[in-house]
């Protein structure tokens, strides 16, 4: 029995109902370490070039990492990888909770899903076995109702369920995978991929706890985490959750407001994490939020998850659907000019109930609101719903219509880029997408290295794929550990900041491959830094890895994703930001007047390509780079790729 991982990968062909188990050698685990890199291995091997993202050929990989399920903070994460129906590029979404650990306990490190079932089914993985079961009675149900029914049906309240809601069934292009009815593998439409396969849910249960190679060192690392919660500020982070960052973001001029036209929202205090904690978390009436209003992931002491409940009124919300993250309070809040926290909580719950990404959903509505403000959309288009900035009722209504693909929601369910193509009339000028994915709530105009990551990230604009600019100066010791010793001034977009972007991107990519939490293991502010990540991996697996090898895993995964896109004919032309970020200076606050300079930005992009060893003209990874990462097979096995990579 290997340490940390089970050594078993489940393969499910939904077309034929065939289920097999693969037992890869240790070298395989050492090469990929799990999560996204492991998933990419299967997607590149088994999804043919040009496959329809919503067709049976698209392979969906659900992968844990080699430390998932061990009792330490930040390890219970699951990665989903497949071609994205939102972007047409590779898709990737990370999610936490209890499902990832329980999947490991069920006896499998990952499940690789291909084909399409002729009828709705769910996959039941338990105690080293797996079977497909009928899900006709679950189709159409919300996530909460599905989970309730499955617990009764399988006579076990401790099962964990990763599922699609009605939005996934309706192939909303930014549909999410949801577990615990409130945790999302949110981005890039993985829920629509699962829906296209007629797979309603993956249900797991087991008792196979991972064996730890060096229990004594592991115990010391556990204790270090507990002892340093306060010193690292992570106890405060846990108390106020990610929304606690809203006020600082606003003060620094980096809170996306009115669809990214400003970095300052005059009602930011209304959507801040402190207000959410004091006035909205469950239990706030008796000042008992820590008991009733916070939740966590398996074995994590941070407890950063929010639990909210609205007993009555137009925004009535059930606590089982959790509470909003910072991204959600921003996309449904400041992006849309909305400061009504109850409406944001309700929209968040609707997304969890129906299974949608709150970032793309809120940002798509914000895009429509700007189109409305500019006279590009009217009540005739929207079925009478007035999509004015600040209209909380309209925002909530539109969220529901998108999930159900009804009315104007049918168009917005395509995501903002495709919606702009359908509507025309110059509405594309207001997009905030990269590769068709809506930008999360960190502003490229303010965090300049992030602008290159938004543009070049293989699965579209993403905020968890590199460290953000201020981290370089603020955490010199942790930066030094990954070879970054030359912090630059604010707004710098030079070669050193491109090196910062790339190196921290490799670390984030490794974090997503080890499938651990970006708030616990990472480059700067996190509880455990990258040094402790190495120690945890070694203590669990018995390996002798180091930061160089960990960063190489991240670089490997990133290049596999770029190679996937290259195979689809997607290269430099797709590495873009929205037009407005170059043409429209931000208005108000500390970032007033900020705008990206196109010439400076293109030069930085080319610096970044050179550092990555990607072709400056095409954006494709070089053959030399792929071979140096042990990825020569990717070119050898893919004719379409061999034609564009040299």
Partner 1 sequence: MRIHVELMGPLVDFLPKSQRGQTTLTLSGEATIADLLKELKINIKVVVAVNDDEEKELEHVLVDGDEVLVFTLISGG
CB nearer to partner 1: pick between 228 and 642: 228
DSSP-derived secondary structure for 23-66: ---HHHHHHH-BHHHHHHHHHHHHSPTT--TTSTT--EEEE-BT
Q: How far is the CB of 40 from partner 1 (least distance, A)?
A: 22
Q: Per CB under 8 A, which of residues 61..100 are in contact with partner 1?
A: none
Residue 251 binding partner 1, by CB under 8 A: yes
Which one of 17-25, 231-239, 424-432, 542-550 is the stretch in contact with partner 1 (CB under 8 A)? 231-239
CB-based contacts of 602, cutoff 8 Å, min separation 6: none
Q: Per the structure block, which two tokens stand in for 304? A: 């950063």
Question: What is the enclosing helix (H) or strand (E) of 19?
Answer: strand 18-22
Site string for partner 1, 269-288 (x = CB under 8 A): ---xxx--------------
Q: Which two tokens stand for residue 235?
A: 């106890």
Nearby residues of 365 by Cβ (< 8 Å), 6 or more positions away? 332, 335, 336, 387, 395, 398, 399, 402, 412
Give me the count of residues in the chain.
Answer: 646
Q: CB 240 → partner 1: shortest distance, Å? A: 5
Rank residues 438 and 568 by Cβ distance to partner 1 and give the closer one: 438
Percentages helix, strand, coil for the chain (3-state, rounded to 5) are 45, 15, 45
Residue closer to partner 1 (CB basis): 327 or 381 = 327
* Residue 475 touching partner 1 (CB under 8 A): yes
- If we measure between CA atoms, which residue out of 1, 3, 68 comes closest to residue 38? 68
Of the candidate residues 128, 470, 542, 569, the single one contacting partner 1 (CB under 8 A): 470
Determine, following the binding rule CB under 8 A, whether residue 480 of this chain makes contact with partner 1. Answer: no
Q: How far is the CB of 475 from partner 1 (least distance, A)?
A: 7
Work out which of 1, 152, 227, 231 binds partner 1, going by CB under 8 A: 231
From the list 50-58, 159-167, 226-234, 634-642, the region that binds partner 1 by CB under 8 A is 226-234
What is the C-alpha radius of gyration for the chain, rounded to an integer number of angstroms?
23
Interface stretch with partner 1, choices 17-25, 73-81, 435-443, 632-640 (CB under 8 A): 435-443
467 binds partner 1 (CB under 8 A): yes
Is 471 a binding residue for partner 1 by CB under 8 A? The answer is yes
Tell me the DSSP string of 92-136: EEEE-SSHHHHHHHTT-SEEEEES--SS-EEEEEETTEEEEEE-T
String of contacts with partner 1 for each residue 525-544, x by CB under 8 A: x-------------------
The answer to whether residues 532 and 221 touch, using CB atoms and an 8 Å cutoff, is yes
Q: Nearest approach, Cβ of 402 to partner 1 (angstroms)?
A: 21
Write the CB contacts of 216 (distance below 8 Å, at least 6 apart in sequence): none
Pick one of 215, 236, 314, 384: the residue that binds partner 1 (CB under 8 A). Answer: 236
Among 463, 506, 567, 572, binds partner 1 (CB under 8 A): 463
489 binds partner 1 (CB under 8 A): yes
Q: Binder to partner 1 among 474, 610, 630, 637 (CB under 8 A)?
A: 474
The answer to the question of residue 464 lying near partner 1 (CB under 8 A) is yes
> Is 487 one of the binding residues for partner 1 (CB under 8 A)?
no
Interface with partner 1 includes 142 (CB under 8 A)? no
For 611, counting Cβ atoms within 10 Å of its Cβ (0-12 exposed, 13-18 middle, 19+ buried), the class is middle
- Minimum Å gap between C-beta 571 and partner 1 is 28
Nearer to partner 1 by Cβ, of 482 and 574: the residue is 482
Tokens of 496: 């050193």
| Interaction of residue 233 with partner 1, rule CB under 8 A | yes
Give the residue, chosen from 425, 473, 610, 643, that forms a contact with partner 1 under the rule CB under 8 A: 473
Give the max Cα distance, the chain: 67
Per CB under 8 A, which region of 5-13, 232-240, 554-562, 611-619 contacts partner 1?
232-240
* Sole binder of partner 1 in the list 248, 314, 384, 630 (CB under 8 A): 248
Q: Would you say 246 or 513 has its CB closer to partner 1?
A: 246
Residues in Cβ contact with 406 at an 8 Å cutoff, skipping those fewer than 6 apart: none
494 vs 192: CA distance, rounded Å: 39
Minimum CB–partner distance for residue 256 and partner 1 (Å): 11
Strand blocks (E) in 160-262? 160-163, 177-179, 183-185, 199-205
Residue 204, classed as helix, strand or coil, is strand
Binds partner 1 (CB under 8 A): choice among 5, 240, 321, 335 = 240
Is position 327 an interface residue for partner 1 (rule: CB under 8 A)?
Answer: yes
Site size with partner 1, rule: CB under 8 A: 44
**Residue 177 — left, alpha, or beta (φ > 0 → left; ψ -120 to 50 → alpha)?**
beta
CA nearest neighbour of 444 among 459, 435, 433, 436: 433
- State how far the alpha carbon of 622 is from the alpha carbons of 211, 610, 626, 645, in Å: 39, 10, 6, 6
Nearer to partner 1, 331 or 399 (CB): 331
> Three-state DSSP class for 249?
helix
Q: Verify binding: residue 252, partner 1, rule CB under 8 A.
A: yes
Site string for partner 1, 491-510 (x = CB under 8 A): --------------------
Q: Is 245 in the site for partner 1 (CB under 8 A)?
A: yes
Rule CB under 8 A: is residue 524 a binding residue for partner 1?
yes
Please select the residue that binds partner 1; options are 518, 527, 530, 626, rule is CB under 8 A: 518
Q: How far is the CB of 178 from partner 1 (least distance, A)?
A: 18
Between strands 60-63 and 110-114, the pairing is antiparallel
Nearer to partner 1, 233 or 426 (CB): 233
Q: How far apart are CA 122 and CA 203, in angstroms?
A: 7
CA distance 526 to 532: 11
Phi-psi region of 102 (alpha: psi -120 to 50; beta: other; left: phi over 0): alpha
Residues that bind partner 1 (CB under 8 A): 230-233, 235-237, 239-240, 242-248, 251-252, 272-274, 325-327, 330, 440-442, 463-464, 467-468, 470-471, 473-475, 489-490, 518-519, 524-525, 590
């Amino acid at each position: 029995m290997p340490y940390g991982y089970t050594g078993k990968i489940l393969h499910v062909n939904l077309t034929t109902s065939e289920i097999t188990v693969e037992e890869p050698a240790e070298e395989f685990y050492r090469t990929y370490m799990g999560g996204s890199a492991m998933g990419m291995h299967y997607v590149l091997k088994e999804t043919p070039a040009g496959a329809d993202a919503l067709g049976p050929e698209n392979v969906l990989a659900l992968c844990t990492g080699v430390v998932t399920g061990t009792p330490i903070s930040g390890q219970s994460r699951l990665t989903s990888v497949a071609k994205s129906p939102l972007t047409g590029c590779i898709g990737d979404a990370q999610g936490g909770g209890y499902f990832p650990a329980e999947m490991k306990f069920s006896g499998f490190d990952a499940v690789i899903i291909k084909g399409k079932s002729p009828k709705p089914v769910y996959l039941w993985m338990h105690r080293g076995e797996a079977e497909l079961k009928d899900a006709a009675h679950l189709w159409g149900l919300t996530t909460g109702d599905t989970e309730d029914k499955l617990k009764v049906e399988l006579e076990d309240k401790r099962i964990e369920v990763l599922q699609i809601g009605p939005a996934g069934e309706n192939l909303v292009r930014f549909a999410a995978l949801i577990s615990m009815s409130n945790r999302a593998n949110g981005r890039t439409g993985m829920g629509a991929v699962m829906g296209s396969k007629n797979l309603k849910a993956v249900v797991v249960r087991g008792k196979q706890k991972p064996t730890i190679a060096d229990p004594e060192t592991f115990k010391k690392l556990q204790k270090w985490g507990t002892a340093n919660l306060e010193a690292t500020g992570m106890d405060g982070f846990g108390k106020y959750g990610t929304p606690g960052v809203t006020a600082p973001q606003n003060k620094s001029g980096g809170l996306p407001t009115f669809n990214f036209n400003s970095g300052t929202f005059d009602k930011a205090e209304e959507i801040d994490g402190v207000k959410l904690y004091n006035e909205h978390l469950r239990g706030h009436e008796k000042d008992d939020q820590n008991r009733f209003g916070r939740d966590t992931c398996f074995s994590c002491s941070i407890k950063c998850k929010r639990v909210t409940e609205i007993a009555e009124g137009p925004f009535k919300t059930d606590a089982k659907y959790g509470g909003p993250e910072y991204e959600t309070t921003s996309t449904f809040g400041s992006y849309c000019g909305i400061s009504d926290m109850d409406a944001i909580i309700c929209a968040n719950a609707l997304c969890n109930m129906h299974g949608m990404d709150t970032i793309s959903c809120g940002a798509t509505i914000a895009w429509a609101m700007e189109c409305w403000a500019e006279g590009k959309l009217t009540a005739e288009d929207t079925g009478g719903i007035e999509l004015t900035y600040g209209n909380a009722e309209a925002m909530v209504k539109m969220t529901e219509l998108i999930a159900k693909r009804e009315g104007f929601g049918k168009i917005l369910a395509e995501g903002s880029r495709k919606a702009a193509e359908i509507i025309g009339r110059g509405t594309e000028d207001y997009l905030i997408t990269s590769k068709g994915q809506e930008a999360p709530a960190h502003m490229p105009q303010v965090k300049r290295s992030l602008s290159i990551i938004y543009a070049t990230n293989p699965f579209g604009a993403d905020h968890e794929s590199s460290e953000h600019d201020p981290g370089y100066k603020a955490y010199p010791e942790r930066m030094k550990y990954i070879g970054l010793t030359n912090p630059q001034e604010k707004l710098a977009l030079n070669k050193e900041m491109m090196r910062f972007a790339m190196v921290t991107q490799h670390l984030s990519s490794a974090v997503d491959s080890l499938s651990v939490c970006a708030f616990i293991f990472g480059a700067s502010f996190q509880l455990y830094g990258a040094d402790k990540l190495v120690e945890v991996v070694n203590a669990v697996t018995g390996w002798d890895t180091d930061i160089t090898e960990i960063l190489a895993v991240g670089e490997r995964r990133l290049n596999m994703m770029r190679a996937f896109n290259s195979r689809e004919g997607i290269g430099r032309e797709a590495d873009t930001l929205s037009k407005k970020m170059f043409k429209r200076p931000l208005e108000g606050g500390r970032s007033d007047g900020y705008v990206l300079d196109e010439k400076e930005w293109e030069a930085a992009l080319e610096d970044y390509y050179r550092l990555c060893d990607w072709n400056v003209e095409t954006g494709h990874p070089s053959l030399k780079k792929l071979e140096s990462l042990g990825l020569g097979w990717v070119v050898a096995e893919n004719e379409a790729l061999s034609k564009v990579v040299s």
